[in-house]
Structure 1
Amino acid sequence: MASLKRASQNLLADTHALMKSFEACRTKADLKEAVRKVSEPMGVTSHLVGIVPNGTVRPRDQPDYVLAGTWPSEWAKRYFARQYVQDDPAIEHARTRIEPLRWDSARAAGVGQRILQEASEFGLSHGMTIPQFTLDGLKIGVSFSGDRLDTSPQASTALLFLAATAANRGIVIAQDGAGVPSVRLTMRERECLLWLIEGKTDWKISVILGISRRAVERHM
């Protein structure tokens, strides 16, 4: 019992220290370094925190949606030049789901094979993308990559918390710099998003709202 209490106290202390370190971040560079420092012990070699763009965002504006990241520069250039945002399985997942996506699962399912294969050529073979949401409609994807990514329950929980903390701070930094895209949701879009956050599937949302499943997908 005493050891469990000490472990809980250490966890609370670590959580408090992490939150304080992120509160001190004032720029994208600060945030990038804070995420790197916390995630490296869990086998993360590259990360990216970014707002999920919708289909109307011009290709030249897509790089501005990155809040922080250490993706290889050559991969980033290719990714945006070839407009992979439209076909990236991680982006699509972050746009419509709330549970984390492990890239190996997407690869096994045959989704986004070309993008995943090309990413692996730049050292981005194994990783996960964790969706985040804000109540005003922004959807954020936080990705962690590493050949020796720690997949233990403890590390996975830590990465979930880190993703939420990094996404929150990234939005604050972007807002301070007037860099957050303006998003206006209709009432129906907001309803769909709130039910999605509650963990409902597209089909369940369609039943709750009395609309077709295709309509739900369109509102997402």
Structure 2
Amino acid sequence: MREPATWRRRLDDTFEFLCRIRRSSTQQEICRHLLCYAERFGATNLLAGPIPPPHALRREQLSHVLLDAWPEQWSERYFSKGYLDRDPTIQLVSRGSRPFRWSEMGEMCRICPSGWRIMDEATEFKLCEGFTIPFATLERQAVGFSVAGEKLDPDPHDRIAFQFVAACAFGCAAILADGKGNSKPVSLSSRQRDVLSWASEGLTVDEIADRLSISRNTADTHLRAARERLGVASTVHAVAEAFRQGLIA
């Protein structure tokens, strides 16, 4: 059972950070806001970007990094030694995994010895524990978003809330990188905005249908239509993108 007042306060706090991210004028500023948000559960570093194709050259790998607050020396070693193709976090992101803590990877996939060595080397740079959020664009391009630090302790709310924050931040960073800050926003119907607003409160499809006095199938149809209009593949990403564009508040 949720504590309504506590849930509301934490939700308001999350949206405050989303507003700061949306107003950011550089990718570095987005990184600062993200780390300020994520430090509450121990994160001190972050890295995010689309996953390059297998065996991509180092230059191409680096060009895919969109948000970078990773230890510089570790990044230099990682990309110069071609660790990307053996990194178990990248393998899980490419498979479209659910969000995961690095400590959960052994249960989720079979990690080769070189993969464990990469994770062990990361601890030399105080990247001892991490949390990775995989998501995909409508074009099915896999995106990885990782935060890490010496000790991470995200509670269930932190894990869910940070998915919204990460998806919104990635959308803002992509627009800045492409120079499309003045691109025309998408329009949504009033019902599509309604279902996304309730989804942003953490409600399930069944709960949204109940709140709006519509069938579950109708609620799901509105959510799918909103995702298609926003050009994203998940409801979490749709909420973040709708918030970024000012379609919901």
**2:200 corresponds to 1:176:** no
The answer for the alignment partner of 2:195 in structure 1 is none
The answer for the alignment partner of 2:80 in structure 1 is 81
Alpha carbons 1:19, 1:165 under 8 Å: kept:
yes
Alpha carbons 1:49, 1:140 under 8 Å: kept:
yes
Q: Point out where structure 1 has 5 or more consecutive residues left out of the alignment.
A: 179-193, 199-220
Could you tell me which of 133, 138, 158 is aligned with 2:136?
A: 133
Shift of 1:84: 0.8
Closer, same or farther in 2 for the Cα pair 1:58/1:152, shift >3 Å?
same
Segment of structure 1 superposing worse, 129-138 or 70-79:
129-138
User: 2:31 and 2:125 mapped to 1: Cα distance?
Assistant: 19
The answer for the alignment partner of 2:170 in structure 1 is 167
Alpha carbons 2:129, 2:149 under 8 Å: kept:
yes
Shift of 1:56: 5.7
User: 2:78 and 2:4 mapped to 1: Cα distance?
Assistant: 47
Task: Specify the SS of the correspondent of 1:130.
Answer: strand
Shift of 1:43: 0.7
Segment of structure 1 superposing worse, 50-59 or 104-113:
104-113
Offset from partner CA, 1:9-28 (integer Å, 9 cap, x none): 42442233122111112222
User: 1:168 and 1:77 mapped to 2: Cα distance?
Assistant: 26
Shift of 1:4: 4.3
User: 2:54 and 2:154 mapped to 1: Cα distance?
Assistant: 33
TM-score (norm 1): 0.72
Count of residues in correspondence between the two structures = 180
TM-score (norm 2): 0.64
Could you tell me which of 140, 155, 160 is aligned with 2:158?
A: 155
User: 1:152 and 1:176 mapped to 2: Cα distance?
Assistant: 36
Amino acid aligned to 1:64: S
User: 2:24 and 2:65 mapped to 1: Cα distance?
Assistant: 16
User: 1:177 and 1:114 mapped to 2: Cα distance?
Assistant: 40
Alpha carbons 1:22, 1:166 under 8 Å: kept:
yes
Please, what is the CA RMSD of the aligned residues?
Answer: 2.6
User: 2:64 and 2:103 mapped to 1: Cα distance?
Assistant: 25
Task: Specify the SS of the correspondent of 1:25.
Answer: coil
